[in-house]
Chains A and B, each alone.
Chain A
């Protein structure tokens, strides 16, 4: 049998069915709306992050330093007010020098794969037309571990760059635009004036049009020769087994080799803070809904307290304590909160199910995709916690008032 408090609480709620249902609806809608919005927001956030993580290196090591090198004058007068003007940088060959030893230092970090890249501008001359492209020199075996380019290859393969040192892989976009076919010979010129004839051994399509029209790959050695930068790479790109450890890995790399290492989180800081703002907005809107819903509960329980002052007086006269009375009304709030949460979760899941059925076709993508929804248990727990918290909180004020009713005041009035 339920406790006497619960029995009294339920009798109050059932005696005001309509008002109880209205306040229940508030909680149901609040919880359902929370779930729908939260699953959508977090689903799209996760989807977005996945794309972000998959389409860019987790850490990029570039040929820069975070701190400017200490100038000789500063070394001579440490802490002094040294101002240096008109520094003329000497023309030095930029890039990660002695990249092989730096690479092996990075390589020894656990849980990562790393590939050296030397990228630069080049001009392709084909059928009498010149077109500027980005030429990346890569080591195919290493590149496969750190980039998704391998799966975007539509003709040939990355390994063909190993087989044919004079091979080049271009985007399908470029190929279509200039009617280049597999096996065609392209004339590549570097800013250094070197010119080579390279043969198209592969093509890729990422879906990113600009990239597909301007990116080309060749063997690292070949590009080093073309750019006249032997034994130099200008970046390392890394993929971590756990992308969310990228910050720590980047810091470790900077500590080991000194070159600037940027994690994907750092690279996308603006996007990350945008996501945070989005979450703050979502949670405040949903919180506001539940606050409004809690007014409904406050209203129904206040009414019951007013209406049942006589009952409260008689319960207290027969020996119920103030805390018993408070408990009765808090139970009323909790019951509305619990039933509201349950129905809200069901309605929320239904809305989520409906959302998943909606086919959407993002521009530039051929396949029909479904809305990415997040189904994690934590958002259900959060929704129920919010609902129960606001329901019990809303019940607390009238409950306290009920607990303070003095039976004599009521008896004097009634007699």
Chain B
């Protein structure tokens, strides 16, 4: 199970979209995700789940408050620095697969590895091939996204998220756009990653079956955590 080191921690994190009428996406978020934890973020539509996930994934920056990833305070980091951290330490799975249409499954999975450049080309191929095989896509490695089903594509996206062996996987409704059968497969894969491989996963979901397997459920309403007080008491 999860060990006690917080891999991701925020304090008083607020994100306001500027404009004529400023919109507060999330407000005063303080939470801590431990190494190996499988957390789901739940809440009504429009409550700020995605917004929170983007902040946790360093895709967006808080208007105020702080965020530590792997012990590092990321406030004040510039865009390039954040991109480098995303490359090395984070993996994303979105509701829509977001694969490059002209690239094969293999090539899509290899993208982050090639950008990082830590493995040789042969090692990258082996790893991409293996990741896809592990997710039940053996024999589909050279297909393009257009030649695959929605569930298969989402598995390619998961393999891509795992490419650089990230510290945290962030998923935004990964089963949200899939049919029942495919969504069960994807759900099982993420559960497996969390429990057997002890990966840190933060996933936004509406699916109670998905959520029930999580170590922890974070509830958000109108951009605020409902269990904030409980967490504060804990720390």
A residues contacting B by CB (< 8 A) are 1, 3-4, 7-8, 11-12, 14-15, 310-311, 313-324, 407-408, 411-412, 414-415
Q: State in angstroms the CA–CA spacing of A98 and B111 once bound together.
A: 88
Asked whether, in the complex, the Cβ of A318 is within 8 Å of the Cβ of B115, the reply is yes
Residues of B contacting A318 in the complex (Cβ-Cβ under 8 angstroms): 86-87, 91-92, 111-112, 115, 160
Closest-by-CB residue of B relative to A410 is B98
Does the CB pair B50–A415 fall under 8 Å?
yes
Chain A: minimal CB distance from B222 (Å): 17
Assess whether A319 is in contact with B87, with CB atoms less than 8 Å apart.
Answer: yes
Contact of B179 with A by CB under 8 A: no
A301 to B60, CA, bound (A): 27
Judge whether B54 and A408 touch: CB under 8 Å: yes
B98 pairs with A4, CB closer than 8 A: no
Q: Which residues of A contact B99 (CB under 8 A)?
A: 314
Provide the residues of chain B in CB contact with A8, threshold 8 Å. 100
| CB neighbours of A412 from chain B (8 A) | 50-51, 54
A396 nearest CB across to chain B (Å): 19
Q: Which residues of B contact A (CB under 8 A)?
A: 50-51, 54, 57, 59-60, 79-80, 83-88, 90-92, 94-96, 98-103, 107, 111-112, 114-116, 121, 160, 172-173
Contact A317 B92 (CB under 8 A): yes
User: Could you tell me the distance between the alpha carbons of A67 and B100 in the complex, rounded to whole angstroms?
Assistant: 79
B99 closest partner in A (C-beta): A314
CB < 8 Å: which of B90, B98, B102 contacts A14? Answer: B102
A1 — nearest CB in chain B belongs to which residue?
Answer: B121
Which residue on chain B has the smallest CB distance to residue A320?
B115
- Asked whether B54 lies within 8 Å of A319 as measured between CB atoms, the reply is no
Complex: how many Å from CA A415 to CA B59? 15
With both beta carbons as reference points, the residue of chain A lying nearest to B94 in the complex is identified as A411
Residues of B within 8 A of A11 (CB): 100, 102-103
Specify which chain B residues have a CB less than 8 angstroms from the CB of A313 in the assembled complex.
98
**Interchain CB contact (< 8 A) of A407 among B59, B95, B100, B115:** B59
CA distance A313 to B54 in the complex (A): 13
Cα A322 to Cα B78 with chains together (Å): 12
- B97: nearest residue on chain A (CB-CB)? A314
Since A12-B102, A415-B95 are in contact, a sample of 10 more A-B pairs with Cβ atoms closer than 8 Å, ordered by chain A residue number, is: A3-B114, A11-B102, A315-B111, A316-B83, A318-B112, A319-B116, A408-B54, A408-B60, A412-B54, A414-B94
Most chain B Cβ neighbours within 10 Å, of A4, A14, A320, A414: A4
For A411, give its contact among B54, B80, B160 (CB under 8 Å). Answer: B54
Is A319's CB under 8 angstroms from B100's CB?
no
**B121: which A residues are within 8 A, CB to CB?**
1
Can you name 27 A-B pairs with beta carbons within 8 Å? A7-B103, A15-B101, A15-B102, A314-B98, A314-B100, A315-B111, A316-B83, A317-B59, A317-B92, A318-B91, A318-B92, A318-B111, A318-B115, A319-B85, A319-B87, A319-B112, A320-B115, A321-B80, A408-B54, A408-B59, A408-B60, A411-B54, A411-B59, A411-B172, A415-B50, A415-B94, A415-B95
- Chain B neighbourhood of A1, CB < 8 A: 121
List residues of chain B with CB within 8 A of the CB of A317.
57, 59, 86, 92
C-alpha gap A26/B102 in the complex (Å): 26
Q: Which of A4, A15, A322, A408 contacts B111 (CB 8 A)?
A: A4
In the bound complex, do residue B100 and residue A311 qualify as a contact, i.e. CB atoms below 8 Å apart?
A: yes
Residues of B within 8 A of A322 (CB): 79-80, 83
Bound Cα distance A57, B95 (Å)? 84
Residues of A within 8 A of B114 (CB): 3-4
Whole-angstrom distance between the alpha carbons of A324 and B114 in the complex? 12
CB distance from B202 to the nearest CB of A (A): 15
- Chain A nearest Cβ from B43, distance in angstroms: 14
Bound Cα distance A414, B177 (Å): 12
Contacts of A320 in B (CB 8 A): 83, 87, 115
Residue of B nearest to A414 (CB): B96
Cα distance A316–B88 in the bound complex, in angstroms? 13
Shortest distance between the CB of A18 and any CB in chain B (Å): 16
Nearest chain A residue, comparing its CB with the CB of B60: A408
**With A324-B115, A411-B50, A415-B95 as contacts: A319 and B59 at CB distance below 8 Å:** no
Partner of A4, one of B91, B115, B173: B115
A114 to B84, CA, bound (A): 76
Chain B residue numbers with a CB within 8 Å of A14 are: 102
The CA of A7 and the CA of B57, in the complex, are separated in Å by: 27
- The list of the 5 closest CB pairs from A to B, nearest first, reads A319-B87, A11-B102, A4-B114, A314-B98, A319-B86
Closest B residue to A313 by beta carbon equals B98
Which residues of chain B are within 8 angstroms of A323 by Cβ–Cβ distance?
A: 80
A15: chain B residues at CB < 8 Å are: 101-102
Give bound CA distance, A315 to B111, whole Å: 8
- A1, A11, A317, A323 — which one has the most chain B CB atoms within 10 A of its CB? A317
Cα distance, A403 to B117, chains bound together (Å): 21
Beta-carbon nearest neighbor of B50 in chain A: A415
> A316: nearest residue on chain B (CB-CB)?
B83
Which residues in B have their C-beta under 8 angstroms from that of A3? 114
Contacts of B92 in A (CB 8 A): 317-318
CB distance from B131 to the nearest CB of A (A): 14
In the bound assembly, the distance between CA atoms of A407 and B114 in angstroms comes to 20
Please measure, in the bound complex, the distance between the C-alpha atom of A216 and the C-alpha atom of B50, giving whole angstroms: 101
Distance A8 CA – B98 CA, assembled complex (angstroms): 15
Chain B residues positioned under 8 Å from A310 (CB to CB): 98
Whether the pair A319, B107 counts as a contact (CB closer than 8 A) is: no
* B residues less than 8 Å from A411 (CB atoms): 50, 54, 59, 94, 172
